[in-house]
A = this chain, B = another copy of it.
Amino acid sequence: MQLIDALSSTGLRRIEAASFVSPTAIPPMAGSDEVMARIERVPGVVYSALVPNVRGAERALEAKADEIEVVVSASETHNRKNVNRSVDESIAGAGELIELSHDADVAAEAIVSTAFGCPYEGDIAPSRVAEVARRLADAGADRLSFGDTTGMATPRRVDDLLDALAAAGLDTDAVGLHFHNTRGTALANVLAGLERGVTRYDASIGGLGGCPYAPGASGNAVTEDLVHMLEDMQIDTGVDLDELLACATLAQDIVGRELPSALLHAGARLRRYAS
């Protein structure tokens, strides 16, 4: 709650605030209803919630999430590991959740995970990822996002995927990209995406994160490292870096371990030292 409220005042316009998965399946995600009820909503900030099934969607809508997120893996094996369903079944399920959210006048984002490779199957053909995305768009998804679940993306794979999405008739400028820095390439991948016109990137404060169903997954791109790079590239993010760094410090205090944020350790580039 405290962290979300702090993030709300940095200028970020979108915060994934909760995940309505089963509290018995992933105990750290319990309490989402309470989180959504207690955060202070800042006008202009979208508070989204991840939902895995109808029960989760109902809870998210009841909790007044501004947007729901549904996830389907492009990898059959990863999808089965994750939700014990085939990709076809998950796409059908996502369609139901999108309908539920639309009935409540809430937008739905569809996220294709393992979009740059799968820890079980290895490479996933970009055309396969594009097909899953196409079907989710056809099912009514308002926005599409692509997750590099275990950090297998490199700049040319970003290009390859965007090519495949364009070939499938999808608007690549409108997609979101979600990188993990598992193999150090997250910011290089963002640069590749920027050069192709993508403006929406997920990141996590301090580099918090991981994935209980993806062995080897480490945190997302680090929000403050990303904002720092973008701002120095004269891209106006609207985010206050100092406030973001205060949030990263808070996040580190909450989890009680050192987070992978580079900025948290080094400070912004114009940090001076006495001469």
A191→B155 contact, CB < 8 A: yes
Do most interface residues of chain A lie in helix, strand or loop, or is the interface mixed?
A: loop
Find residues 196-249 in chain A having any chain B CB closer than 8 Å to their own CB.
215-216, 218, 222, 225, 228-229, 232-234
A81 to B273, CA, bound (A): 12
- Contact call A273/B120, Cβ cutoff below 8 A: yes
Q: CA–CA, A262 to B151, complex, Å?
A: 10
CB contact between A216 and one of B182, B188, B228, B266 (< 8 Å): that residue:
B266
CB distance from A15 to the nearest CB of B (A): 21
B117, B183, B234, B275: which contacts A120 (Cβ < 8 A)? B275
| Chain A interface residue count, Cβ-Cβ cutoff 8 angstroms | 48
Residues of A with Cβ closer than 8 Å to B? 77, 81, 117, 119-123, 151-152, 154-157, 181-188, 190-192, 215-216, 218, 222, 225, 228-229, 232-234, 262-263, 265-275
Give 26 CB contacts A-B under 8 Å: A117-B269, A119-B271, A119-B273, A120-B275, A121-B275, A152-B269, A155-B191, A155-B229, A156-B232, A156-B234, A181-B184, A182-B262, A182-B266, A183-B225, A183-B228, A183-B269, A184-B186, A184-B187, A184-B229, A184-B262, A184-B263, A185-B187, A187-B188, A188-B190, A188-B191, A188-B229
